[in-house]
Structure 1
């Protein structure tokens, strides 16, 4: 028996919310969320086979489908899988299945790229998941991992088991990957402003009106940012 992931109920409560919150035309537009996906998208070239582990409602899969040959997604939540299947119905190169990240239903060396987008902080057994990512990657393949940047002075986020610092995440990933490069996303100054009622409304209005997004900025100084992106080989 494999351990069950921590339950994630938001899809039952909010539906395919990534598709809504990443749409600049939506009144619910979420600039940090959109910037996180764009950071991954910029780094994933026209790969032949991509796997999104913890794909949720399938939004990232939809973005990747335009440049990648085949995109697969797995999620343990039945509701998430149902939403992704519905959203991706017209995407002929996308395939979704219900599965645990601890036991991926694929043969070894099946994918050129594997994604773990804001999933690892929800896992009670991250090392087991990373073993599976390594197993299904081809030699020379790449894994991309995003997660909130952990800070000792604050509590972990809702439904999170652990939030990692950059060095902590790099050490964990280094047990499975020979090369791990950590970059930081979401400028902290902008994120703090966005966390206030006035800033939240103002930044969303500005981003929607002008198609700008201050959360696209990246850097190497963790004290200035709020999100981690790790690129692994």
Structure 2
């Protein structure tokens, strides 16, 4: 990876998500038990293992589960997961792959695994053109839409999870501004190798590098809104007492 590629990669919003989540566990959730739901290739298992004495992952991909088990992580397929309690449930880039009805069923499956005063952490992309670049995305969710699902915002809804969660904190993450979806942003078509085309591609790259530099210098404050992270607290136990 050359210097330009490294700079552009540094401005990806998921880098900011990782740093924010690590700070959260280092300061507030250090020593808590964690279930990483949809742990994928184990990025957060590796990142948070130093803070969580009891760390478990679950994923529907058997190949990824086998690979993480070989690394020494306690990872299960959904049908293998034992019904134990955790202090923290993490759903990172999961909810956007589910329809509203499927999301409620998903929450009803996993939220009962939370301790009485447990926390749910949701990380998900914001609506926008880039959201649809991942063809497996079903729909975006915002703090407001999840608030309506949990009944926090009220409103007539056909179904909501059995366990109620209330939003405690939220963070928003930005990508650097970037020129996208121009034909010169993509590989050139055959026969389009003239000096004018090369100069235009070079200009796009220079602009994107400048915008990436502004993003880095601002600490991620300048750029296009890309994702958000929310910490939700379980409230149904306290309300029933």
TM over 0.5, shorter chain: yes
TM-score of the aligned structures, taking structure 2 as reference length: 0.65
**What's 1:97 paired with?**
76
Partner of 2:188: none
Provide the rounded CA distance (Å) in 1 between the counterparts of 2:95 and 2:177: 23
CA distance in 1, matches of 2:211, 2:75: 31
| Higher RCO, 1 vs 2 (CA within 8 Å, ≥6 residues apart) | 2
Q: Which SS does the other structure have where 1:138 is aligned?
A: strand
Q: Secondary structure at the match of 1:156?
A: helix
1:230 equivalent in alignment to 2:214: no
Please say if 1:114 is aligned against 2:89. Answer: yes
Q: SS where residue 47 of structure 2 aligns?
A: helix
Unpaired runs of 5+ residues, structure 1, are 1-19
For structure 2, which runs of at least 5 residues remain unmatched after alignment? 152-160, 186-203, 234-241
The answer on whether the counterparts of 1:143 and 1:232 sit within 8 Å (CA) in structure 2 is yes
User: Residues of 2 paired with 1:33 and 1:183: CA distance?
Assistant: 15
Find 2:205's aligned residue among 198, 205, 210: 198
Radius of gyration: which is bigger?
A: 2
Alignment of 1:1-233 (within 5 A): 31-44=12-25, 45-86=29-70, 88-89=71-72, 94-99=73-78, 105-108=81-84, 110-124=85-99, 125-151=102-128, 156-158=132-134, 159-174=136-151, 175=161, 176-181=163-168, 183-187=170-174, 190-193=175-178, 198=205, 202=209, 214-215=219-220, 217=221, 225-233=225-233
Shifted more, 153-162 versus 39-48: the winner is 153-162
Aligned residues: 191
**SS of the residue 2:173 aligns to:** strand
Secondary structure of 2:127's aligned partner: coil
* CA deviation string 1:173-196 (max 9, x = no partner): 444334214524223xx4332857
